[in-house]
Amino acid sequence: MMTEDEFKQGTGGTALRGRSEITKVDRALKAFYALPDARQGARLLALKDIVRACGDYVAHKGDAGSRVGGTQRLGEQAQAAQGQLDPEAVFRDLLTEIDQVMDEGRNPDLDLRMPAGEAQKAAQAIPADRFHTMMGDFVQKLGALREDGALPEETRAVIGELMAVVPLVTVMQYPRGGMGGMKLDPAAAEGDPAFTFNVDTQARGGTSFLLGHIAHELTHVAAHQAFGSSPVMELVRSGATDAEVAALAAERKQALADLKAALAGNAEFDDFQQSMLEEKLVYGAQPQKLEQYASSFEKAGKITAAQKERLVGWGKAAGNASGTLVEYDTVLNQMLIYLHMWQTGQDNPFYVRLRAAAQAAYDRRSRARRPAGGSEDQPGQSGQPS
């Protein structure tokens, strides 16, 4: 791509330039060359700014301007240069871009450069083997949070539990033609379980979003192992009665309502953080959630008609809080990661309630995992998987 000097010389030099719309292209080009090569995500956004500025200038001038030809050439070169960037480096750096926006208290959803969308597109271009390796690196970043002395003990225990099930996740991939989330591999259902993680790379909240998403999905695996769940990965121990399920759903629904009350008007969270937390509180208790999962899994041949009947019965027993039977533990753990990475004060009323609810859910999984009359080592004490 032409340099700043080459562009200026090819578009009439510096004479009378200060009053021309061409200066917007000049500024975009200068901003690009000010970026280090390592900032691949930032360079992608800067190249897009150049393409946009060139397009605006050409549209403004039509075919009449003497600088139109050179500006069109620059726009074409900037477009081509985007394809020369490394997609993994772009994805990683765009997370950093979003992190910076959040650190400055700005809403990344309002960023006109749309870094989250660009990160998602970059992720699609990463070869499958590199994508799996890259996500393994982010899984280890989640595990490494345990080394942070400021991490609450409730969160430390949860992360240890999640790291213990990482070896069961044999594939991490971009969700091509399907939904994101954790899936039990059908071929492994009779023997040692194995899971495929379709990773949501539309990381609206940057690194905190991605690590929270990983924690959410690994919680599905940990709960599946604890409760002996079906492939739907319901958060209910095998053999529970409808009455027990109804009480469980009511308890979880109330915990989410208490969290919602603690979130309302909480001045420590900005608008974006509020929206992210509200989204999780709603997602954790959606009506008809378990019934919908059961129907789709039975239709796909992943569960039997008898399993579907049992799950639908549990969903009905939960009333309008069916979602708590499949997403409650996951959203609690996801929000634990959010709040730690946002450096939320641990005396924040919402954080205090969240840690208590997450600890209760952790204890329930631990009890379900423990053999009758026996004892069990705490998850994760065997060390972090390689």
Cα dihedral 115, 92, 185, 304, rounded to 10, equals -30
CA atoms of 263 and 253, how far apart (whole Å): 15
CA atoms of 333 and 330, how far apart (whole Å): 5
**Binning pLDDT at 50, 70 and 90, where does residue 371 land?**
low
What letter represents residue 207's amino acid? T
Specify the pLDDT at position 239. 86
The radius of gyration of the chain's CA atoms, rounded to the nearest angstrom, is 25
Strands 169-173 and 195-198: parallel
DSSP bridge partners of 195: 169, 184
Q: Is 292 exposed, middle or buried (0-12, 13-18, 19+ CB in 10 A)?
A: middle
CA atoms of 27 and 56, how far apart (whole Å): 14
Look at residue 379 and tell me whether its pLDDT is greater than 60: no
Specify the pLDDT at position 343. 96
Specify the pLDDT at position 361. 97
Specify the pLDDT at position 313. 95
CA atoms of 346 and 168, how far apart (whole Å): 32
Specify the pLDDT at position 373. 42
CB-CB contact of 54 with 24 (8 Å) = no
Tell me the mean pLDDT in the region 83-97. 96
Tell me the mean pLDDT in the region 52-66. 84
Backbone angles phi, psi at 198, to 5 degrees: -90, 105
Listed residue (80, 23, 28) closest to 49, CA to CA: 28
Residue matched to tokens 């949860």: 158
Look at residue 32 and tell me whether its pLDDT is greater than 80: yes
DSSP strands (E only) in the chain: 169-173, 181-184, 195-198
pLDDT tens per residue, range 281-330: 999 999 999 999 999 999 989 999 999 999 999 999 999 999 999 999 99
- Mean pLDDT score of the chain: 90
CB-CB contact of 260 with 281 (8 Å) = yes
Specify the pLDDT at position 262. 97
Of 39-53, 342-356, 371-385, least confident by mean pLDDT is 371-385
DSSP bridge partners of 198: 173, 181
CA atoms of 55 and 52, how far apart (whole Å): 5
Q: What distance lies between CA 296 and its chain's CA centroid?
A: 24
Specify the pLDDT at position 48. 96
Please give the share of the chain, as a percent, with pLDDT higher than 90. 80
The Cα-based distances of 95 to 138, 189, 211, 350 in angstroms read 12, 35, 11, 26
Specify the pLDDT at position 186. 78
* Percent helix, percent strand, percent coil in the chain, to nearest 5: 65, 5, 30
Of 174-178, 311-315, 382-386, least confident by mean pLDDT is 382-386
Of 28-32, 47-51, 111-115, 136-140, least confident by mean pLDDT is 111-115
Q: What distance lies between CA 58 and its chain's CA centroid?
A: 38
Please give the share of the chain, as a percent, with pLDDT higher than 70. 92
Specify the pLDDT at position 175. 87
Specify the pLDDT at position 304. 92
HEC per residue, 300-344: CCCCCHHHHHHHHHHHHHCHHHCCHHHHHHHHHHHHHHHHHHCCC
pLDDT tens per residue, range 142-174: 999 999 999 999 999 999 999 999 999 999 999
CB-CB contact of 123 with 174 (8 Å) = yes
Tell me the mean pLDDT in the region 39-66. 90
Decide: helix, strand or coil at residue 378.
coil
Specify the pLDDT at position 140. 97
Higher pLDDT, 130 or 61: 130
CA atoms of 168 and 187, how far apart (whole Å): 13
The Cα-based distances of 176 to 85, 99, 209 in angstroms read 22, 26, 20
Specify the pLDDT at position 16. 67
Higher pLDDT, 276 or 188: 276
Specify the pLDDT at position 253. 96
Tell me the mean pLDDT in the region 209-233. 95
pLDDT tens per residue, range 65-82: 778 899 999 999 999 999
CA atoms of 281 and 268, how far apart (whole Å): 17
